[in-house]
């Protein structure tokens, strides 16, 4: 059960970082 929680936490963190990076890259390209 603990392992599954860790996997979900890492997946959420990775998704958040990816969205943040994508936002910065898009802003850099359009500006």
> Would the pTM of this model clear 0.75, i.e. be above it?
no
- CA of 20: how far to CAs of 3, 4, 14, 27, 28, in Å? 26, 24, 10, 11, 12
Segment-wise mean pLDDT, segments of 10 residues, the chain, 31 residues: 90 98 95 84
Taken as a whole, the chain contains a residue count of 31
Quickly list DSSP for 1-31.
Answer: -HHHHHHHHHHHHHHHHHHHHHHHHHHHHH-
Residue 28 has a pLDDT of: 93
């Amino acid at each position: 059960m603990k392992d599954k929680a860790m996997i979900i936490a890492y997946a959420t963190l990775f998704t958040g970082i990816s969205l943040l990076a994508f936002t910065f890259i898009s802003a850099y390209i359009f500006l």
